[in-house]
């Protein structure tokens, strides 16, 4: 797989194709990507995987009682299937259901989970299973990182965003009143199981939001993905859905493994995010994250086009790709507001901010500029749109 | 320093004596013990250290804003001194004060701390300072382990128990309604500063409780300590106070470094604790931890004497040593109650339990027995008292 990152990566991801061919087969059913964190784990991507999760966990020698953490949207749809899958492998699972929504990513809900675990005498030898989107994955991971100072957990992401973004990187957190993700831990799962079939029931807006993160990778690490998505925009019915998810997971795993402590290259993953935070905040967090990222990518791509050498044709292709996925590429939110939000971002250091700017297919650059310069350049850039 | 542990240790602790002599000088003023965890850190023990903490932190290249977490007992006594020490080294500290007492080791108080940090825009580049006993140290460590997924922290233990026990090992936690220390993380401090002068204001009962943990080490790893304490029981005025604290810290550091994951040798630190949990629970946690540990040690020593070859003379010496420190060595709590509590201990594994039994000066053994056997042996042992 071609990598066009600026800095050399240690090739730390292995894609194992179990369909009996050496070359990546786009329409094959199964992908396994080993994420070489400490400890390493495997992301499994396969249609119908939910029905065999129990057997996969036995193969991984996961013992003890599984506790499924899910929410009121996903639980009614898939908890029964997962319970059956676990029972078929001789597990005796418990189920805990959170209210669906970002408001559940709170200290209060976290504490409810911990008390549930303690009240049911869950020990360090048991295992949590996150069945849901990013909120469920983040809160479950943080519970697993801290209950009895750490127990094992498994992720079963049920949104496109969670599959391509949250399943790699080990970041877990809940929100505090003062801000998002302020309280958390790094915790690697024992395994991640992505079943693309569950995306059929994902609300359309959420699927589109996930595409915002998918498109991001076309300008980070994987120019081939651009061709694939341009030819056929992603839908839950896409024949290349498994393959696209796998390529995004592999790209994120490569970038994370090359920079576990988020000192440099890993910041590339923030493409589109510097201004996205302001967009989400302005909407009081009613704008889906992926939509905000899409607008953020579009603005940064225009900056790349006007100031950092992104060819006009590649800029146009990127915007078309976002539009083809029904993603927004412009905003009415005042630029001043977005810049002020960026100033309070975790990536802001005093007078400077590090932005990620697309410069060619499969390629973005980290650029650290004074806030004032960013304001000037963006104003000039947008006056030309 | 002689080590008489059963299993060979990698000699991972260095005692640096800064008084210009190579040999350990019992009455010297300063001890520095390097704890070789990942990352390594130093425990400083020195009379009057509180006044120079700021300079030591500068020497360690600790930057950012320090946030002192203390409680309503310790804060009024020492927070001002610490603030002055930090200001003298050009820090701008904040102070947050918890209600004193074990009830503060709660999720609710933890959340108050986290919101305080977020509301004051504390970042990953700042540092928490735990100024207090075990409760303050445990809750501050857990806050540091998780605020923004981890920031630095420094410990300034102000109780004897916290100096000899909590300052090494990296265990942080708060209590859940279902049990103690059920929610936490492993987090190593940047440094630990023990100023024995602060023990002058420690309530007598708390000092005595700390002696329970000190005596424990005489039968774990350090037979020389037995002679030292027998000659002159420890008081806040003892000339050998610094040295005794240093010997306990060094012993714990050796044991922890030899077994970071608590699979084997580290369990020796539970000497006296298997039955202590039941004693504390029976008293509704009004019995000080060190008192319960002392009774637990006495009971285990008697078991060692009747069943596992502890010489009568050494048994007698241990009991005398506990008594000389005004610690209890017997209990009216029914043995059945203690055994039932031990059955629910984290060290209990189904039908078996691992107990720690003194077998000679500076030497205890880990013995895994069925609960039924422990009950029989203890009953037989105590009927001979």
Could you tell me the CA-to-CA distances from A274 to A270, A335, A347, B49, B245 in Å, in that order?
Answer: 7, 12, 8, 45, 50
Q: Are residues B273 and B179 in the same domain?
A: no
Residue B173 contacts A, CB cutoff 8 Å: yes
Indicate whether B21 pLDDT > 60: no
Q: Are residues A189 and A246 in the same domain?
A: no
Give percent of chain B above pLDDT 90: 72
The whole-number pLDDT of residue B100 equals 96
Subunit contact A183:B114, Cβ cutoff 8 A: yes
Tokens of A126: 């048991």
Among chain A residues, the shortest Cα distance to B346 is held by A123
Task: For residue A15, tell me if it sits in a domain.
Answer: no
Among the residue ranges A312-326, B135-149, B253-267, the one predicted with the least confidence is: B253-267
Task: For residue B125, tell me if it sits in a domain.
Answer: yes
Could you tell me the CA-to-CA distances from A366 to A267, A271, A279, A295, A304 in Å, in that order?
Answer: 7, 9, 21, 18, 11
Q: Are A359 and A308 in contact (CB under 8 A)?
A: yes
Q: How confident is the model at residue A258 (pLDDT cuts 50, 70, 90)?
A: confident
Q: Are residues A258 and A332 in the same domain?
A: yes
Residues of chain A contacting residue B148, judged by C-beta atoms under 8 Å apart: 182-184, 346
| C-alpha span between A53 and A70 (Å, rounded) | 15
At B121-136, the pLDDT tens digits run 999 999 999 999 999 9
Indicate whether B267 pLDDT > 80: yes
The whole-number pLDDT of residue B294 equals 96
Q: Determine the average pLDDT of the residues in A93-107.
A: 96
- State the Cα angle at B24 between B20 and B30, rounded to 5°: 60
Indicate whether B28 pLDDT > 90: no
| C-alpha span between A368 and A352 (Å, rounded) | 6
Greater pLDDT, A26 or B62: B62
Alpha helix positions (H), A27-93: 53-59, 74, 80-87
Subunit contact B115:A145, Cβ cutoff 8 A: no
Tokens of A144: 């697993």
| C-alpha span between A197 and A48 (Å, rounded) | 6
For tokens 């960026």, the residue is: A342
Q: Determine the average pLDDT of the residues in B281-300.
A: 93
Indicate whether A11 pLDDT > 90: no
Under 8 Å CB pairs connecting chains A and B tally to 69
The whole-number pLDDT of residue B346 equals 63
Task: Provide, for chain A, the percentages of residues in helix, strand and coil under a 3-state DSSP scheme, each rounded to the nearest 5.
Answer: 45, 20, 35
Among the residue ranges A339-343, B85-89, B156-160, the one predicted with the least confidence is: A339-343
Q: Are residues B188 and B76 in the same domain?
A: yes
Subunit contact B107:A118, Cβ cutoff 8 A: no
The whole-number pLDDT of residue A313 equals 95
Residue A183 contacts B, CB cutoff 8 Å: yes
Task: For residue B227, tell me if it sits in a domain.
Answer: no
Q: How confident is the model at residue B341 (pLDDT cuts 50, 70, 90)?
A: confident
Residue A38 contacts B, CB cutoff 8 Å: no
Q: Which 3 state secondary structure label does DSSP give A35?
A: strand
Q: Is B13 annotated as a binding residue?
A: no
| C-alpha span between B24 and A323 (Å, rounded) | 74
Q: Determine the average pLDDT of the residues in B239-267.
A: 86
Subunit contact A149:B177, Cβ cutoff 8 A: no
Q: Is B381 annotated as a binding residue?
A: no
At A38-71, the pLDDT tens digits run 889 999 999 999 999 999 999 999 999 999 999 9
The whole-number pLDDT of residue A38 equals 82
Q: How confident is the model at residue B88 (pLDDT cuts 50, 70, 90)?
A: very high
Residues of chain A contacting residue B173, judged by C-beta atoms under 8 Å apart: 149
Picking from A235, A190, A195, A229, the residue whose alpha carbon sits closest to that of residue A31 is A195
Output the average pLDDT for chain B.
88
Task: For residue A9, tell me if it sits in a domain.
Answer: no
Residues 6+ apart with CB under 8 A from B215: B229, B294, B297, B318, B321, B322, B325, B327
Domain membership of residue A99 as a residue range: 49-194
Which among A38, A147, A149 is the top mutation candidate for probing chain B, defined by the most B β-carbons within 10 Å of its own β-carbon? A149
Residue A220 contacts B, CB cutoff 8 Å: no
Which among A128, A175, A177, A182 is the top mutation candidate for probing chain B, defined by the most B β-carbons within 10 Å of its own β-carbon? A182
Task: For residue A22, tell me if it sits in a domain.
Answer: no
Picking from A271, A282, A211, A254, the residue whose alpha carbon sits closest to that of residue A37 is A254
Indicate whether B15 pLDDT > 80: no
| C-alpha span between A96 and B77 (Å, rounded) | 46
Tokens of B169: 């090992």
Subunit contact A179:B145, Cβ cutoff 8 A: no
Indicate whether A83 pLDDT > 80: yes
Subunit contact A114:B145, Cβ cutoff 8 A: no
Q: How confident is the model at residue B217 (pLDDT cuts 50, 70, 90)?
A: very high
Closest residue to A184, CB basis, from B149, B177, B179: B149
Task: For residue B119, tell me if it sits in a domain.
Answer: yes
| C-alpha span between A266 and B33 (Å, rounded) | 37
Greater pLDDT, A275 or A10: A275
Please count the structural domains in chain B.
Answer: 2
Can the peptide bond before residue A39 be classed as cis, meaning omega within 30 degrees of 0? yes
The whole-number pLDDT of residue B361 equals 84
| C-alpha span between B156 and B137 (Å, rounded) | 8
Q: Which 3 state secondary structure label does DSSP give A88?
A: coil
Q: Are residues A157 and A54 in the same domain?
A: yes
Tokens of A347: 């990536």
Q: Are residues A239 and A378 in the same domain?
A: yes
Q: Are residues A145 and A273 in the same domain?
A: no
B309 CB burial (10 A radius; 0-12, 13-18, 19+)? exposed
Residue B169 contacts A, CB cutoff 8 Å: no
Kindly report the nearest CA distance between residue B216 and chain A, in angstroms.
25
The whole-number pLDDT of residue B27 equals 38
Kindly report the nearest CA distance between residue A377 and chain B, in angstroms.
28
Residues of chain B contacting residue A115, judged by C-beta atoms under 8 Å apart: 176-178
The whole-number pLDDT of residue A76 equals 98
Tokens of B322: 């506990």
Picking from A354, A351, A347, A382, the residue whose alpha carbon sits closest to that of residue A368 is A354
Residue A115 contacts B, CB cutoff 8 Å: yes
Residue A119 contacts B, CB cutoff 8 Å: yes
Residues of chain A contacting residue B186, judged by C-beta atoms under 8 Å apart: 149-150
Kindly report the nearest CA distance between residue A316 and chain B, in angstroms.
38
Q: Determine the average pLDDT of the residues in A280-306.
A: 94
Picking from B15, B62, B364, B10, the residue whose alpha carbon sits closest to that of residue B216 is B364
Q: Is B307 annotated as a binding residue?
A: no
Residues A262-272: b if buried by 16+ CB within 10 A, e if exposed: beebbbbbbbb
Picking from B128, B130, B122, the residue whose alpha carbon sits closest to that of residue B156 is B130
The whole-number pLDDT of residue A331 equals 94
Q: Determine the average pLDDT of the residues in A354-374.
A: 91
Indicate whether this complex's ipTM tops 0.90. no
Kindly report the CATH number assigned to the domain that includes residue A317.
1.20.1090.10
Q: Is B273 annotated as a binding residue?
A: yes
Residue A148 contacts B, CB cutoff 8 Å: yes
Residue A111 contacts B, CB cutoff 8 Å: yes
Q: How confident is the model at residue A158 (pLDDT cuts 50, 70, 90)?
A: very high
Picking from A346, A335, A347, the residue whose alpha carbon sits closest to that of residue A381 is A335
What would the 3-class secondary structure string for chain B be? CCCCCCCCCCCCEEEECCCCCCCCCCCCCEEEEEECCCCCEEEEEECCHHHHHHHHHHHCCCCCCEEEEEECCHHHHHHHHHHHHHHHCCCCCEEEEECCCHHHCCHHHHHHHHHHHHHCCCCCCCEEEEEECHHHHHHHHHHHHHECCCCEEEEEECCHHHHHHHCCCCEEEEEECCEEEEEEEECCCCEEEECHHHHHHCCHHHHHHHHHHHHHHHCCCCHHHHHHHHHCCCCCCCCCHHHHHHHHHHHHHHHHHCCCCCCCHHHHHHCCHHHHHHHHHHCCCCCCHHHHHHHHHHHHHHHHHHHCCCCHHHHHHHHHHHHHCCCCCCCCCCHHHHHHHHHCCCCEECCEEEEEEEEECCEEEEEEEEHHHHHHHHHHHHHCC
Q: Determine the average pLDDT of the residues in A297-306.
A: 96
Q: Are A236 and A200 in contact (CB under 8 A)?
A: yes
Residue where a domain stops, chosen among B147, B173, B194: B194
Q: Which 3 state secondary structure label does DSSP give A259?
A: coil
Q: Are residues B280 and B143 in the same domain?
A: no
Residues contributing to the annotated binding site of A: 134-138, 158-159, 171, 180, 213, 273, 289
Q: Are residues B179 and B316 in the same domain?
A: no
Residue B178 contacts A, CB cutoff 8 Å: yes
Kindly report the nearest CA distance between residue B340 and chain A, in angstroms.
16
Residue A149 contacts B, CB cutoff 8 Å: yes
Q: Are residues A276 and A369 in the same domain?
A: yes
Greater pLDDT, B235 or A25: B235
Task: For residue A161, tell me if it sits in a domain.
Answer: yes
Residue where a domain stops, chosen among A194, A229, A244: A194
Greater pLDDT, A264 or B211: B211
Backbone angles phi, psi at A344, to 5 degrees: -95, 5
How many beta carbons lie within 10 A of that of residue B17, not counting itself? 16
Task: For residue B375, tell me if it sits in a domain.
Answer: yes
Subunit contact B176:A146, Cβ cutoff 8 A: no
Picking from A227, A230, A220, A200, the residue whose alpha carbon sits closest to that of residue A323 is A230
Residue A128 contacts B, CB cutoff 8 Å: no
Q: Are residues A181 and A78 in the same domain?
A: yes
Q: Are residues A358 and A319 in the same domain?
A: yes
The whole-number pLDDT of residue A30 equals 86
Tokens of B315: 């048994």
Subunit contact B186:A149, Cβ cutoff 8 A: yes
Q: Determine the average pLDDT of the residues in A335-361.
A: 84
Residues 6+ apart with CB under 8 A from A131: A68, A69, A70, A74, A75, A78, A79, A82, A156, A158
Q: Which 3 state secondary structure label does DSSP give A164?
A: helix
Residue where a domain stops, chosen among B194, B212, B230: B194
Closest residue to A147, CB basis, from B150, B183, B346: B183
Output the average pLDDT for chain A.
88
| C-alpha span between A224 and A218 (Å, rounded) | 7
How would you classify the pairing of strands A352-360 and A363-370? antiparallel
Kindly report the CATH number assigned to the domain that includes residue A90.
3.40.50.1970
Residues 6+ apart with CB under 8 A from B378: B299, B303, B335, B339
The whole-number pLDDT of residue B385 equals 60
Residues 6+ apart with CB under 8 A from A278: A333, A337, A338, A339, A340, A341, A342
Residues contributing to the annotated binding site of A for NAD(+): 134-138, 158-159, 171, 180
Q: Which 3 state secondary structure label does DSSP give A146?
A: helix
Give percent of chain B above pLDDT 70: 90
Q: Determine the average pLDDT of the residues in A19-23.
A: 34
Kindly report the nearest CA distance between residue A344 and chain B, in angstroms.
10
Q: How confident is the model at residue B7 (pLDDT cuts 50, 70, 90)?
A: very low
Q: Is B137 annotated as a binding residue?
A: yes
The residues with which A176 forms a beta bridge, in sequence order, are: A179
| C-alpha span between A318 and A364 (Å, rounded) | 13
Residue A350 contacts B, CB cutoff 8 Å: no
Indicate whether A237 pLDDT > 50: yes
The whole-number pLDDT of residue B22 equals 36
Indicate whether A184 pLDDT > 60: yes
Subunit contact A185:B118, Cβ cutoff 8 A: no
The whole-number pLDDT of residue B122 equals 94
Kindly report the nearest CA distance between residue A177 and chain B, in angstroms.
7
| C-alpha span between A102 and A180 (Å, rounded) | 10
Highest mean pLDDT among A270-274, A278-282, A296-300: A296-300
Backbone angles phi, psi at B366, to 5 degrees: -85, 125
Q: Determine the average pLDDT of the residues in A214-221.
A: 90
Give percent of chain A above pLDDT 70: 90
Q: Are A289 and A161 in contact (CB under 8 A)?
A: yes
Highest mean pLDDT among A17-21, B175-179, B189-193, B256-260: B189-193
């Amino acid at each position: 797989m071609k990598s066009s990152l600026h800095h050399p990566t240690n090739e730390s991801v292995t894609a194992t194709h179990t369909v009996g061919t050496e070359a990546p087969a786009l329409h094959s059913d199964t992908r396994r990507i080993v994420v070489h964190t400490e400890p390493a784990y495997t992301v499994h991507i396969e249609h119908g995987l939910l029905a065999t999760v129990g057997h996969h966990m036995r193969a991984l020698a996961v013992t003890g009682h599984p506790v499924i953490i899910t929410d009121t949207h996903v639980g009614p749809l898939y908890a029964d299937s997962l319970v059956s899958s676990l029972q078929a492998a001789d597990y005796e699972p418990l189920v805990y259901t959170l209210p669906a929504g970002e408001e559940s990513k709170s200290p209060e809900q976290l504490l409810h989970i911990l008390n549930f675990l303690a009240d049911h005498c869950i020990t360090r030898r048991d295992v949590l299973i996150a069945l849901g989107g990013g909120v469920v994955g983040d809160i479950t991971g943080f519970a697993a990182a801290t209950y009895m100072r750490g127990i094992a957990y498994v992720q079963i992401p049920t949104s496109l965003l969670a599959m391509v973004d949250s399943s790699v990187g080990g970041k877990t957190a809940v929100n505090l009143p003062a801000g998002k993700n302020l309280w958390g831990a790094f915790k690697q799962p024992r395994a991640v199981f992505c079943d693309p079939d569950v995306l059929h029931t994902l609300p359309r807006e959420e699927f589109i939001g996930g595409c915002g993160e998918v498109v991001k990778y076309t300008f980070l690490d994987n120019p081939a993905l651009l061709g694939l998505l341009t030819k056929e925009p992603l839908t839950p019915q896409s024949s290349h859905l498994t393959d696209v998810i796998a390529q995004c997971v592999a790209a994120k795993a490569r970038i994370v493994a090359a920079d576990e402590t988020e000192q440099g290259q890993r910041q590339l993953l923030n493409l589109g995010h510097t201004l996205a935070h302001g967009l989400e905040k302005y909407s009081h967090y009613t704008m889906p994250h992926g939509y905000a990222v899409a607008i953020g990518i579009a603005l940064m791509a225009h900056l790349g086009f006007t100031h950092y050498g992104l060819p006009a044709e590649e800029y146009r292709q990127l915007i078309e790709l976002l539009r083809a996925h029904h993603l927004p590429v412009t905003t009415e939110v005042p630029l001043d507001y977005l810049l002020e939000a960026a100033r309070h971002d975790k990536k802001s250091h005093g007078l400077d901010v590090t932005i990620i700017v697309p410069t060619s297919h499969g390629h973005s650059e980290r650029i650290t500029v004074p806030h004032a310069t960013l304001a000037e350049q963006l104003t000039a850039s947008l006056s030309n749109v």
